[in-house]
Structure 1
Amino acid sequence: MPVNRKIPLALLAAAALSTSLLTVPSYAGTARPSSAAAAGDEAAATLQTPASHDLSAVNPTAESNPGGTDGNGTCFPGCRGTDQLIAYTPEFGSPTTGTNEYGQEVVVEDGRIVTIGGSNRTIPPGGLVLSGHGKAAKWLAAHSSIGAQVSIADGRLTITVDAEAYVVRAELLREDALARRTRAADSCTVFPEADVAEALAESARTITEARDALEDGREADAIALATTAATTATGAADRTRESRPVEGRGVWVRPKETTPEAIRATMDRVEHAGFNVVFLETLWQGYTIFPSDAAKAAGVEAQRPNMRGFDPLKVWIEEAHRRGIELHGWVHTFFVGSEGAADDSTGGQAGPGPILEAHPEWAAVERSDVGKQGPQPSTMEPGYYWVDPAMPEVRDYIRSVFREMITDYDLDGLHLDYIRYPVSLPYASSFSYSDYSRRAFREEHGVDPYTLKETDPLWKVFNSWREENITSFVKSVREMQRELKPEIALSGAVFADPVDGLNKKFQNWADWIDKDYLDLLTGMSFGSSPDSVGEDTEVMRERVGNAYLYTATYGPINGSPSDVMGDQLQAVKDADSDGTALFAYNQLTDAQVEALHLGAYRTKAFAPHADPAKAAEAALGPVVSRLESASGSCVSGADAKQASIRLKTAKKLLGKAGDHGLNAARRQVAAVAANAAAWDGAQDGFTSSVTRDLRMVGRWLEQAED
């Protein structure tokens, strides 16, 4: 007989609870079952299929798990190695697993999964943490669900989903929603409180019915009811999230649609989720999605094969603009082919790609490939083919395609990706040693770079030479964009750590920001925990100053639960981003879409880079409303009144033409931000979010003055 479990509230408050990694099908891109009963029937059919995987180690050490070391006997974080699945118990001797961000973890209490996602998890007394890297992380993500049973025997892990798991999961989700409502209310966050209360009451009733069905042995009914209760509780939790009316909300889309009708359906889903910027992959693996005269003139295949017969880019732009969404052309700059291209159902061919097929002499050459015939893929980025950023012919061709896109299409921006060299560490895997690059560097510095060692004085010169090849190309694109379409945005997808990007790939994005070569930065934060993406955002914000920053998080492609994805978005906001971006649409589940629609993106938002003065004016109204509603609870009446007067004045000043109004408004906003630090007795979370928003408005006002 199932046991009625009492869930510790402290555990629930800290838990990152799954809303998408369910044994119930995710239905991404497919029709949902017509009823909760149908969902229960489908789920019940999976109850007899436990999933098993060998453990690489339990409580690993350098001695017991050499696969978790660097070869010199030093443990990787958590002593977890490539593709390993590790179990950590309290006997590990550390309160946490110590793992890095590149994996997946679940927490197990009383033999059932209670938390999914994140890294460096706290090991519970009497419980354990399962942690996977690489292939093991994918397995763990695919087979874990809240409430599932976990057993370990003879070094083998088994995860079993029984009927009880569905009810436990619903209970956990409801407790999480209650905790989130309390936190939101305590900080005077604006959210639809009546809707949340109604959903919580409904989920409680349905959970009771599910428990009764389970006690009576009606497993299919229990699963159906618990599934409904979980969905209702999840919706309640989502609705407690902050939703800002002014922020960037980007998403990367790889187009697989081959008809206007399919494009419209995708854009409906994008709109429903609440995005306001689409980065549409327009040039990738060497192909354009549109019929390209520039490609044809260079002898390159003129359009992705499965998209011939119409111009998808025009349709994408029309459908985006019809919905008030910006459409930016996302381009792979120097990465032009992939061994796996034939497997992605987008009509491309595996291998070097059409550019290098037409011009094999343009290939970037890795040190270890010098002397080989024909283009070779990267060692450190396996299967990826690149063109040489130093070659004038390469640079001219890529710019010609960009020019065509900017001139012939009503794009809102051009988004540069792979704007770098291939990963060039270690030494044997460095780029680029094409005949052209070797000759050009020798003509400038008198030495063939192929003869240089890392200890040679000219090695740093060679690094700077490669860095300048990338920076000068970005500069040339900026000059072209400003000449042709100064009103559109030029943006870049860059590595969050500026030092790592520079040392390994010669990508000096910090310099690009200083020199105003980019309007917008989407720094890529690959971590799986909210803390990690928040920390990456803080690093980038410190470096970019007032530049627009939309931190890219990877919840969809990492398979993160919807609530973890939402917590990442909140962490990015709290770390002073101007917006967020998700990678990528093609992995976005229906559960994640609904979480965005009900939660972080429920309020229609204006992207600040489009018009910073308008953005500042639009953002001030909600701050004033929040101050006034919080008066006497999260902030004293006197402080709220004084701040509201100043911010209302600032809003009026923004209606005046010229820099005088902007300057005066900025002074008023700055005064409120300074005073907020001295608010006596104000709730910490409230003060923090208000001052964060005022810093954001101040940045936009400075942008408007430039």
Structure 2
Amino acid sequence: MNKRDFIKQLGLGSAAILSAPVFFQSCEGESGEEKDFKLWVWTGGGNKTEAQWDEELAGLKSLGFFGVLVGGGKPVLEKAIPAAKKHGLEIHAWQWTMNRPGDKTAQQHPEWYAVSREGNSCYDVRPYVDYYQWLCPTKPEVQEFVYNGMMEICDIDGLDGVQLDYVRYCDVILPRGLWEKYDLVQDHEMPEFDFCYCEDCRSKFTSEQGYDPLDLEDPSQDEKWKQFRYDSITNLVNKIADGVHQRGKKLSASVFATPSLARMMVRQDWDKWNLDFVFPMIYYKFYAEDIDFMKRATEEGIKDLNGSKPLYTAFYLADKNNEELKEAIELVRQTNANGMAFYDYGLMNEEFRAIIKEQKEA
């Protein structure tokens, strides 16, 4: 299953991108110095030939793209990398991290999967949709499995970096715009969506803090228990970052819209991660927000990062019209974001391409 099909089921995912040298050429920072407004695109396709990759990436380069985030694993990357190098595009491997639906190796280890507060394992009881099979980031075996897989991908010749997706826990709270879809009112953390309460998590937490979260009347309100889970993801990300950086490559991640929302909804403390850059998925319709959320959320992320790394605002192209695309770009350009990312190449229709071309030639 590809990411777009998954998002149609759940309503959540990554973004893709476009670039145009005049429209997207540069923006001024607070110092008055111009900086490039770089654009990326999420793409993939296991059936594309090297010639098809060459045509696709040549077209993206002609529109001013800076880089591509390519899903599909090693066989796809090995076809796409020569074209990316030929056309001067950065290429990063788009990798699912903690959500591993149908992973053959992981499924040989049912004990690796995250367990809900109700006591159900993602191995056989999947929250929200059938494609949610979350691993537990606290388990050393899972950390090693995820790390080794990322390093294997990172070692591919010609690859510029690795981009982490689904690097989080299951959504304990869905964005407001999705509650009706699942007939839920998530004004509190529901036990069936609250992870992870496996023996390893509880034992490790108990040894550190002196109490079992399940002994609490309402574990969802315990700040130490929240921080434990933030740290479990952060430690794994930073372990991967060390390995990627030792190999002279870059690490990025697609994350929830703002650090505060990410912590509340999916236990992501992403402004603390040792990334080279970050892609906040500011999908405003999922949050039942107006389009101005593109600017507000971007500014919050920039403020919390405090200059530690570049931020590229991710925009979901589905269910958007030309005017919404134009306005979203204009709003992000009013911030100090380093660029934009759009999900995904397959959603970039001819009208969207025409908008970019018009702005390029203006």
The interval holding the TM-score normalised by the smaller chain is 0.7 to 0.9
TM-score (ref. length: structure 2): 0.79
For residues 391 and 263 of structure 1, do their structure 2 counterparts lie closer, same or farther at Cα, with a shift above 3 Å needed? Answer: same
Provide the residue aligned with 1:394 in structure 2: 142
- Looking at structure 1, the residues matched to 114 and 91 of structure 2 have their Cα atoms a distance apart, in angstroms, of 31
Q: Does 1:442 align with 2:206?
A: yes
How much identity, in percent, do the aligned residues show?
23
Provide the residue aligned with 1:525 in structure 2: 282
Moved over 6 A (4+): none
For residues 373 and 539 of structure 1, do their structure 2 counterparts lie closer, same or farther at Cα, with a shift above 3 Å needed? Answer: closer
Please say which of residues 353-362 and 535-544 is displaced more in the overlay. Answer: 353-362
For residues 560 and 389 of structure 1, do their structure 2 counterparts lie closer, same or farther at Cα, with a shift above 3 Å needed? Answer: same
Q: Does 1:266 align with 2:56?
A: yes
- Looking at structure 1, the residues matched to 105 and 167 of structure 2 have their Cα atoms a distance apart, in angstroms, of 17
Q: Does 1:244 align with 2:25?
A: yes
Code of the aligned partner of 2:322: S
- Looking at structure 1, the residues matched to 226 and 165 of structure 2 have their Cα atoms a distance apart, in angstroms, of 21
- Looking at structure 2, the residues matched to 442 and 542 of structure 1 have their Cα atoms a distance apart, in angstroms, of 34
For residues 264 and 242 of structure 1, do their structure 2 counterparts lie closer, same or farther at Cα, with a shift above 3 Å needed? Answer: closer
- Looking at structure 2, the residues matched to 279 and 469 of structure 1 have their Cα atoms a distance apart, in angstroms, of 25
1:374 offset after TM fit, Å?
4.3
Provide the residue aligned with 2:65 in structure 1: 275
Greater Cα radius of gyration, structure 1 or 2:
1
For residues 442 and 502 of structure 1, do their structure 2 counterparts lie closer, same or farther at Cα, with a shift above 3 Å needed? Answer: same
Contact map agreement 1:390 1:437 (CA 8 A) in 2: yes
Contact map agreement 1:272 1:593 (CA 8 A) in 2: no
Secondary structure class of the residue paired with 2:356: helix
Q: Does 1:510 align with 2:279?
A: no
Q: Does 1:595 align with 2:355?
A: yes
Provide the residue aligned with 2:124 in structure 1: 375
Larger RCO (CA within 8 A; separation ≥ 6): 2
Aligned runs of 1:589-628 on 2, under 5 Å?
Answer: 589-599=349-359
Provide the residue aligned with 2:107 in structure 1: 357
Q: Does 1:462 align with 2:252?
A: no
Contact map agreement 1:423 1:504 (CA 8 A) in 2: yes
1:281 offset after TM fit, Å?
1.7
Contact map agreement 2:295 2:335 (CA 8 A) in 1: yes
Contact map agreement 2:115 2:195 (CA 8 A) in 1: yes
Code of the aligned partner of 1:403: M
Aligned runs of 1:140-155 on 2, under 5 Å?
Answer: none
Contact map agreement 1:490 1:518 (CA 8 A) in 2: yes
Secondary structure class of the residue paired with 1:386: coil
Contact map agreement 2:57 2:84 (CA 8 A) in 1: yes
Q: Does 1:427 align with 2:184?
A: no
Contact map agreement 1:274 1:602 (CA 8 A) in 2: no
Provide the residue aligned with 1:561 in structure 2: 321
- Looking at structure 1, the residues matched to 303 and 131 of structure 2 have their Cα atoms a distance apart, in angstroms, of 35
Provide the residue aligned with 2:31 in structure 1: none
1:373 offset after TM fit, Å?
9.4
Contact map agreement 1:537 1:575 (CA 8 A) in 2: yes
Contact map agreement 2:122 2:134 (CA 8 A) in 1: no
1:455 offset after TM fit, Å?
6.3
Provide the residue aligned with 1:329 in structure 2: 93
- Looking at structure 1, the residues matched to 323 and 91 of structure 2 have their Cα atoms a distance apart, in angstroms, of 27
Secondary structure class of the residue paired with 1:521: strand
Contact map agreement 1:254 1:281 (CA 8 A) in 2: yes
Contact map agreement 1:273 1:594 (CA 8 A) in 2: no
Provide the residue aligned with 1:165 in structure 2: none
- Looking at structure 1, the residues matched to 332 and 232 of structure 2 have their Cα atoms a distance apart, in angstroms, of 32
- Looking at structure 1, the residues matched to 80 and 24 of structure 2 have their Cα atoms a distance apart, in angstroms, of 27
- Looking at structure 1, the residues matched to 351 and 333 of structure 2 have their Cα atoms a distance apart, in angstroms, of 22
1:261 offset after TM fit, Å?
2.8
1:250 offset after TM fit, Å?
0.9
1:353 offset after TM fit, Å?
3.3
- Looking at structure 1, the residues matched to 219 and 165 of structure 2 have their Cα atoms a distance apart, in angstroms, of 31
Secondary structure class of the residue paired with 1:367: coil
- Residue deviations 1:180-233 (CA, integer Å, cap 9, x gap): xxxxxxxxxxxxxxxxxxxxxxxxxxxxxxxxxxxxxxxxxxxxxxxxxxxxxx
Gaps of 5+ in 1: 1-133, 136-238, 283-288, 291-310, 338-351, 604-706
- Looking at structure 1, the residues matched to 343 and 255 of structure 2 have their Cα atoms a distance apart, in angstroms, of 13
- Looking at structure 1, the residues matched to 122 and 298 of structure 2 have their Cα atoms a distance apart, in angstroms, of 43
Code of the aligned partner of 2:262: G
Secondary structure class of the residue paired with 1:548: coil
Contact map agreement 2:117 2:197 (CA 8 A) in 1: yes
Q: Does 1:410 align with 2:158?
A: yes
For residues 312 and 595 of structure 1, do their structure 2 counterparts lie closer, same or farther at Cα, with a shift above 3 Å needed? Answer: same
TM-score (ref. length: structure 1): 0.42
Higher helix share: 1
1:384 offset after TM fit, Å?
1.0
Contact map agreement 2:259 2:271 (CA 8 A) in 1: yes
Provide the residue aligned with 1:550 in structure 2: 312
Query: RMSD between aligned alpha carbons?
Result: 2.7
Code of the aligned partner of 2:99: F
Provide the residue aligned with 2:334 in structure 1: 574
- Looking at structure 2, the residues matched to 563 and 551 of structure 1 have their Cα atoms a distance apart, in angstroms, of 18
1:530 offset after TM fit, Å?
4.2
1:258 offset after TM fit, Å?
4.0
- Looking at structure 2, the residues matched to 366 and 409 of structure 1 have their Cα atoms a distance apart, in angstroms, of 40
- Residue deviations 1:518-538 (CA, integer Å, cap 9, x gap): 111111111255422112112
Gaps of 5+ in 2: 1-9, 12-19, 27-35, 174-188
Code of the aligned partner of 1:264: D
For residues 323 and 376 of structure 1, do their structure 2 counterparts lie closer, same or farther at Cα, with a shift above 3 Å needed? Answer: same
1:589 offset after TM fit, Å?
0.9
Aligned residues: 315
Contact map agreement 2:172 2:265 (CA 8 A) in 1: yes
For residues 319 and 373 of structure 1, do their structure 2 counterparts lie closer, same or farther at Cα, with a shift above 3 Å needed? Answer: closer
Q: Does 1:312 align with 2:102?
A: no
Aligned runs of 1:592-671 on 2, under 5 Å?
Answer: 592-599=352-359
- Looking at structure 2, the residues matched to 373 and 256 of structure 1 have their Cα atoms a distance apart, in angstroms, of 27
For residues 442 and 543 of structure 1, do their structure 2 counterparts lie closer, same or farther at Cα, with a shift above 3 Å needed? Answer: closer
- Looking at structure 1, the residues matched to 229 and 122 of structure 2 have their Cα atoms a distance apart, in angstroms, of 23
- Residue deviations 1:473-518 (CA, integer Å, cap 9, x gap): 1221121122221xx3211211222111112221111222xxxx11
Contact map agreement 1:253 1:281 (CA 8 A) in 2: yes
Q: Does 1:479 align with 2:260?
A: no
Code of the aligned partner of 2:127: S
Contact map agreement 1:336 1:355 (CA 8 A) in 2: no
Code of the aligned partner of 1:247: F
Code of the aligned partner of 2:135: V
Secondary structure class of the residue paired with 2:71: strand
Code of the aligned partner of 2:315: T
For residues 466 and 243 of structure 1, do their structure 2 counterparts lie closer, same or farther at Cα, with a shift above 3 Å needed? Answer: closer
- Looking at structure 1, the residues matched to 195 and 219 of structure 2 have their Cα atoms a distance apart, in angstroms, of 17
Code of the aligned partner of 1:464: Q
